[in-house]
DNA sequence: ATCAAATTGTACTAAGTTAGTCCTGTATAG
DNA sequence: CTATACAGGACTAACTTAGTACAATTTGAT
């Protein structure tokens, strides 16, 4: 169903939690687990992955924890997804790594998949953590070919 | 990695094959299996699913086979994906079916996921089977917020 | 009428991926 | 020195996907 894994979903929740408490001291894994109602082992694992992708900065020891590495507006949804799921590709054909697709060179729609993939990536690149924090600021979004999609002011999609 | 399943990929290939032979008589599963170099059992299964979603029309018996139910330009990539993978949602939160997400009502980014999902859906809705057949006709595509993505004339993405 | 070609429907198995847990090690503030 | 919190890896169970197989049904042609 072209869907994000649950863990990725949780990752977005955690990033939003951390972003919301900017200015506050470091957020610990336990702390975030309590706030997000997720098991601490899972939270811990996700924070590690977000750290390794450079989206978070950590401090060890007592009074340790995590902060955002950049401002929310400079962290894209695409980056967060990639941090947890690995480099995103809609199909293996679109990963630029040759030899993965068993239809190889005579695959008739390889180039099309790259087009689709690029469009999807681009959408996710443009939506940032800041947008996730402040849904009201994102009132419209233009889809491929410039058609405007109305997005309801409450943050809900009609 | 937010990717399509292999079967979906095959489904796009099959639809492209059928679209390319419009005007010709019905295409059989065996026929398409040979052309696409896929196992016939898999092809048969996919054609059934595409049929049930109303994207194909079938005729049984000798001289039977499949044709497109509509013109290529009126069949979106989103429909083809949905036919094989079920209704698309980036996360379970975005399916409009309540009770699936264990964070339920207090999930802080539910509405945002719906925004992301809608943008992605919209991109896939705008790309049609016709675009897959004639990649040269799709030279640029606009991403969310109207930024133009260049797409190389050869059909390859730079 | 009968046969052969083709779709229809269902059920099943194996493989791969994802979710989630646990344990040991390392750094640091007090 | 010690309690706290991150770091890294290994591991298991559950779920999903890919792929196969078979019997039933429909239909055109001889």
Question: pLDDT at position A23, please?
Answer: 73
For residue range A70-94, what is the model confidence (pLDDT) as tens digits?
999 999 999 999 999 887 655 444 4
Query: Using CB atoms and an 8 Å cut-off, which of residues 29-48 of chain B contact chain A?
Result: 36-37
Mean pLDDT by 10 residues, chain B (158 residues): 79 93 86 93 97 96 94 94 78 47 47 70 86 63 47 31
Question: pLDDT at position B112, please?
Answer: 58
Question: pLDDT at position A6, please?
Answer: 86
| Other CB atoms within 10 Å distance of the CB of residue B31 | 18
CA distance A19 to chain B (A): 12
State, as a whole number of angstroms, the distance between the CA of B136 and the C1' of D20: 38
Average pLDDT, chain A: 76
Question: pLDDT at position B48, please?
Answer: 97
CA distance A70 to chain B (A): 20
Nearest-nucleotide field for B57 (CA, C1'): C7
Question: pLDDT at position A14, please?
Answer: 94
For residue range A96-130, what is the model confidence (pLDDT) as tens digits?
444 444 444 444 445 556 767 777 888 888 889 99
Mean pLDDT of A18-29: 88
Separation between Cα atoms, residue B95 and residue A78, nearest integer Å? 21
pTM of the shown model:
0.77
Question: pLDDT at position A99, please?
Answer: 44
Q: What is the 3-state secondary structure (H, E, C) of chain B?
A: CCCCCHHHHHHHHHHHHHHHCCCCCCECHHHHHHHHCCCHHHHHHHHHHHHHCCCEEEECCCCCEEEECCCHHHCEHHHHHHHHHCCCCCCHHHHCCCCCCCCHHHCCCHHHHHHHHHHHHHHHHHCEHHHHHCHHHCCEEECHHHCEEECCCCCCCC
Mean pLDDT of A127-147: 63
Confidence of residue A158 (pLDDT cuts 50, 70, 90): very low
What tokens appear for A114 in the block?
A: 């790259």
Residues with CB under 7 A from strand D: A 1, 26-30, 44-45, 47-48, 51-52, 58-66; B 5-8, 10, 39, 41-42, 44-45, 59-64, 85
Question: pLDDT at position A111, please?
Answer: 52
Tokens 């309540």 sit at which residue? B98
Question: pLDDT at position B69, please?
Answer: 95
Asked if A32 and A47 count as a contact pair (C-beta separation under 8 A), the reply is yes
Question: pLDDT at position A156, please?
Answer: 28
Question: pLDDT at position B118, please?
Answer: 77
């Amino acid at each position: 169903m072209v869907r994000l894994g649950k863990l990725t979903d949780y990752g977005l929740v955690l990033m939003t939690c951390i972003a919301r408490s900017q200015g506050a001291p470091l957020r610990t894994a336990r702390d975030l687990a309590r706030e997000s109602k997720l098991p601490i082992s899972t939270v811990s694992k996700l924070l590690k992955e977000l750290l390794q992708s450079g989206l978070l900065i950590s401090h060890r020891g007592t009074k340790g924890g995590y902060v955002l590495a950049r401002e929310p507006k400079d962290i894209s949804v695409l980056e967060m997804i990639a941090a947890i799921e690995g480099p995103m590709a809609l199909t293996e054909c679109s990963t630029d790594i040759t030899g993965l697709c068993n239809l190889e060179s005579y695959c008739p729609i390889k180039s099309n998949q790259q087009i689709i993939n690029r469009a999807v990536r681009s959408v996710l690149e443009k939506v940032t953590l800041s947008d996730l924090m402040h849904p009201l600021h994102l009132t419209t979004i233009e889809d491929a070919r410039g058609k405007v999609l109305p997005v309801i002011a409450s943050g809900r999609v009609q």
